[in-house]
Amino acid sequence: MAARYNRRKFVQTTTALAAATAGARVFAAPHILAESSPNSKLSIAGIGVGGRGGAHVQSSLGQNLVAVSDAVEGTVNGCVRRAEKYNKDHNLERPLPKKFSDYREMLDKMHKEIDAVFVATPDHQHAPASMMAIKMGKHVYCEKPLTHSVYEARQLAVAARENKVATQMGNQGRASEGWRQLCEVIWSGAIGQVQEVHVWTDRPGIPTRFWWPQGGDRPAGSDPVPSGLNWDVWLGPAPERPYLDTYKEGRFKGRRVYQPFVWRGWWDFGTGALGDIGCHALSGTFSALKVEYATAVELIKDSGDTTSEMFPAASIIRWDIPARGDMTACQLYWYDGGLYPPPEVGDLGEGQKYPTNGTVIVGDKGKLTFYGSPRLIPESKMKDYQMPAPVIPRCESDHFQEWITASKGGRPAFSNFDHAGPLTEFVVLGNLAIRAGVGKRVEWDGPNMKCTNQPELNQFVHREYRKGWTL
C-alpha cells in the first residue's frame, strides 16, 4: 500500500445526519457490509483480557465470547471462570471460550468461528494483532492509542476500509454528550476562530498521584520469568530483552519494571503519557477543529531525563495546525507530568489551580474549558448561554456496544478507524518531538509521513519488527 493517499477522498462518505452539518467530514463512515441481524449474537475473541480487556470480556459475554488470548496464563484462566459464572447466572448452555497465550495461534486455528476481535494488549502489539484480524475479515475494537507508530495508524485505517470491517478505538469519552457539544459550540462561533488549545494530564505522575515510571535507563541483570507468563509472546514485535521483575535500586526501587501496566513508559512497548491519554483528551478537539495533519511539532520543555529506553517524566509539546477551510491556523499545546498552562490561559484567579486533567480552548472572541463538557469562561458567561441545537448523532448505547451494533451492519461507530487512524497519527507524532529534543522543531509532511528537516527521525515513523510479528 503506497504511503501517500488523499485523506479528503478517503473520508468522503458520512452518515446522513452528520452530512448536513458544517463538520460532516469528521464523522466519516466506512462502508460496512451487513453480515448479521441486530438480534443475532457475534462470536467474539479477546486479545489481551486483563485490565481494560477485562471490561471488554464482560461486555462480550452478552454476545458469544468464543476464545481468549493473553500472555499471562492466570489472566486467561480468570477470564474463563468469569464466562463460566456468566453462563450459569444466565442459564446458558454454551461452550466456554477456548484459551490461548498467543493470539496468532488463536486466529489461525479459530478464524472460521470468530466474527469480531477486541485488542487490549500493550501498545506495541495493537497494530500486528489488529491487522491480522482485519486481513481475516474480522471486525476489530482496539484500545487506545490505536497504534505504536504513525505508519501503523495509517495502515490500519486503510486496511479497515479495504476489508469493509466495523472498527472502533477505545477512547470511551467519544461516546459522551460532552465532546459532541464541544464540536457544536466551536462550530457555532461562540468563541470565534480558535487560536490555541491547551491540554494537560496527570500522567505519568504528579505529587499526589503516581501512575508509572518514566525517565530512566534499563536496569542491569535479569530475573526468572514467572510461571504462567509467556515472555516471548509478551515481547511480541519488540526487540528481545531479559525479563525484569522490580527495580532493585534507584528512585524507582521496589516498583515493577515492565508489567503489569507499567510498560507505558518504555519506548519499545508504550507511547508514554501522550499515547495513553492523548487519544482520549484530543479526540473531541481534533474533530471540532477538523484537523487533517500538523505541519510541525516541537518539544517546548521536558524534565531532562529522556533516555533511549524511556520517555521523560514530564513534557510540553506544541503542534502547528494549518488553516483548514474557513478555520484559521492554530496551535495545540500538550502538558504532562505535573506541568500546566500558564494561569492566564485559563483565567485563573489568585490561589486557583487547574484540575489534574483538562482542556482550555482560546478563540479570538472568547475561551472555553473542557473538563467533560464545554463551559465558557469566565463561568458567568454560562448564565444566559444556550447550547447550540444538536447537529451530531448521539451515542444510543455505550462505546463498546456501539461497535457491536456497527459489526452487525448498523451505524458506524464514532471512533472507527477513519477517525482513530488520523487522530493517532497526530498524537504519536508528538513523540517524534520528544525524540528530537527541546527546541528542535520537527517539520512534518503529513500525506507522506515524513520529517523533512530531520530525516534521522524517520526511522521512528515505521519501526522494525521482531521476526514473526510483522504487519
Is residue 219 included in any domain, yes or no?
A: no
Domain assignment present for residue 206? The answer is yes
In this prediction, residues 125-139 reach a mean pLDDT of: 98
- Is residue 279 a contact partner of residue 428, using CB atoms and an 8 Å limit? no
Q: Is the pLDDT of residue 237 over 80?
A: yes
Is 260 part of any domain? no
Question: Is pLDDT at 434 greater than 80 in this prediction?
Answer: yes
Give the integer Cα–Cα distance in Å for 343 and 192. 21
Yes or no: say if 89 and 62 are a contact pair by the CB < 8 Å rule. no
**What's the confidence (pLDDT) of residue 27?**
53
Asked if 45 and 64 sit in the same domain, the reply is: yes
Residue 7 banded pLDDT, cuts 50, 70, 90: very low
Strands 194-200 and 358-363, bridge-based pairing? antiparallel
- The larger pLDDT score, comparing residue 24 to residue 302, is at 302
For residue 265, is pLDDT > 70? yes
pLDDT at 396: 87
Query: Do residue 116 and residue 187 come from a single domain?
Result: no
Same domain, 79 and 189: no
CATH of the domain at 37: 3.40.50.720
> Cβ of 292: how many Cβ atoms within 10 Å?
18
pLDDT value for 377:
96
pLDDT of 38:
60
Q: Answer whether 463's CB lies under 8 Å from 431's CB.
A: no
pLDDT digits (tens, 9 = 90+) for 160-204: 999 999 999 999 999 999 999 999 999 999 999 999 999 999 999
pLDDT for the residue numbered 296 = 98
Average pLDDT rounded to a whole number, residues 221-247: 97
Same domain, 49 and 111: yes
Residue 246 lies in a domain: no
Of 299 and 8, the structure prediction assigns the larger pLDDT to 299
- For 138-161, write each residue's pLDDT tens digit: 999 999 999 999 999 999 999 999
Does position 464 have pLDDT exceeding 70, yes or no?
yes
**Res 13 pLDDT > 50:** no
Q: What is the mean pLDDT of residues 453-463?
A: 97
For residue 357, give the CATH number of its domain: 3.30.360.10
CA distance 176 to 425: 23
Residue closest to 271 by CA, chosen among 426, 422, 448, 416 = 426
- Domain assignment of residue 190, yes or no: yes
139 lies in the same domain as 274: no
Same domain, 26 and 92: yes
β-pair partners for 375 = 369
The pLDDT value recorded for residue 19 is 36
Could you tell me if 403 and 356 lie in one domain? Answer: no
Q: How many domains does the chain have?
A: 2
Same domain, 351 and 406: no
- pTM metric for this prediction: 0.93
Q: Quick check: is 156 in a domain?
A: yes
Q: Going by C-beta distance under 8 Å and a sequence separation of 6 or more, which residues neighbour residue 404?
A: 42, 59, 63, 116
**How far apart, in whole angstroms, are the C-alpha atoms of residue 413 and residue 402?**
6
Q: Tell me, yes or no, whether 187 and 109 share the same domain.
A: no
Domain that holds residue 381: 177-213+265-394+425-460
Q: Is the pLDDT of residue 58 over 50?
A: yes
Task: Give yes or no for a contact between 28 and 13, defined as CB atoms under 8 angstroms apart.
Answer: yes
| 312 shares a domain with 387 | yes
Say if 468 falls within a structural domain. Answer: no
Residue 2 has pLDDT above 50, yes or no: no
Specify the pLDDT at position 346: 97
Q: Please give the pLDDT value at position 12.
A: 36
Residue 226 lies in a domain: no
Give the pLDDT confidence score for residue 189 in this predicted structure.
Answer: 97
Q: Is pLDDT at 401 greater than 70 in this prediction?
A: yes
C-alpha cell at 439: 527546541
Gap between the Cα atoms of 123 and 429, Å rounded = 15
Q: Each residue of 84-126: pLDDT tens digit?
A: 999 999 999 999 999 999 999 999 999 999 999 999 999 999 9
| 204 and 316 both lie in a single domain | yes
pLDDT of residue 36: 54
Regarding whether 402 and 378 lie in a shared domain, the answer is no
